[in-house]
Structure 1
Amino acid sequence: MTTSASVEANKALVMRAITGVFVDRNPDVVDELFGPDYRQHNPQIPNGTDAVKGLLKQLPENFEYKPGLVFAEGDFVAVHGRYVGWGPKPMVAFDVFRVANGKVVEHWDVLQEEVPASEAVNGNPMFPIGRS
């Protein structure tokens, strides 16, 4: 049975993991917070924690990540984030993680090139941080 305390613990774990990897670029976070059988569902990234550590080494100097909204239900945590330097244009992503036994064990994502609000036909930003 999932409790609100365990959902909040899962959210905190995922935020520590994603911040440790993409903001701090700390490979030790992978050993500490990711499960040994970590499964990746992004078709461009292999399974396993070594793949995450390898990805860290490939991030360009100008790479930036900003987490936004965080949602959780049971063992699943989703983060709406913004990646700069992942591709030629900033990317807005919806990352979904599964947590088991206090570790991040699985990941899915959907990435989309960011369109500035000034160029959007609706005038709305794709990333809600800083929105009034």
Structure 2
Amino acid sequence: MSQTVTKESKAERNKALVLEAFDTLFNKRDYAAAEQYWSPNYIQHSAHIEPGREGLFNLIQGIPASLKYEAGVIVADGDFVIVHGRFSGFGAPVNWIAADILRIEDGILVEHWDVLQDEATEEQSKSKAPMFGSSFPIYS
């Protein structure tokens, strides 16, 4: 019984860590505070981001301050967390829907993979269900 509780507690801690880290970096843009969440030896697998923690931080520094990150579904298993989220206000004509996969070691983010997709409008969606949240985006 105690193993199950410990595993659930670790999963909950890891999910909270990822949500706090993403909010700190993407929404608050507090780079000094964000350093506590990302390992100096961070391994980046994204095709959109330069290597390491510096690559991620440099990318965010170069994106307009209007960048907004919203988290949706989040799941954790062992040292891995997957969060389904939306990036908006970063200067592209459409929002990005992301599935971010993070590996956590000793309470710090050490590795990252992502899958990114443009957020579809209702007219573009064959399913007629929003990709994120409960409503479709409206682009001008």
Give your verdict on TM over 0.5.
yes
Following superposition of structure 1 onto structure 2, how do residues 43-54 of structure 1 map, counting pairs within 5 Å? 43-54=47-58
- CA shift, 1:35, in A, is 1.2
Any unmatched runs of 5+ in structure 2?
Answer: 136-140
Among all aligned residue pairs of Structure 1 and Structure 2, give the percentage whose two residues are the same amino acid.
Answer: 36
- State the Cα distance separating 1:59 from its structure 2 match: 1.3
Aligned partner of 1:98 among 95, 103, 113 = 103
Question: Could you report, residue by residue, the CA deviation over 1:64-90 in whole angstroms, capped at 9, with x for unpaired residues?
Answer: 211111111110001100111343211
Runs of 4+ in 1 over 2 A off after TM superposition: 85-88
TM-score for both structures, normalised by structure 2: 0.84
The structure 1 residue matched to 2:25, chosen from 21, 24, 49, is: 21
Aligned counterparts, 1:26-45, within 5 A: 26-45=30-49
> TM-score under structure 1 normalisation?
0.89
Secondary structure (helix, strand or coil) at the match of 1:32 reads coil
Q: Do 1:95 and 1:108's aligned partners in 2 also have CA atoms closer than 8 Å? A: yes
Q: Which amino acid aligns with 2:80?
A: F
Question: May I ask how many residue pairs the two structures share in their alignment?
Answer: 130
**In terms of mean alpha carbon deviation, does 72-81 or 28-37 score higher?**
28-37
CA displacement at 1:36 relative to structure 2:
1.7
Letter in 2 for 1:52: L
Indicate if the aligned counterparts of 1:30 and 1:52 stay in contact, CA closer than 8 A: no
- Find the partner of 2:63 among 38, 46, 59: 59
**2:114 matched to 1:109?**
yes
Larger Rg: 2
- Which residue in 2 is equivalent to 1:120? 125
Q: Which runs of 5+ in 1 are unaligned?
A: none
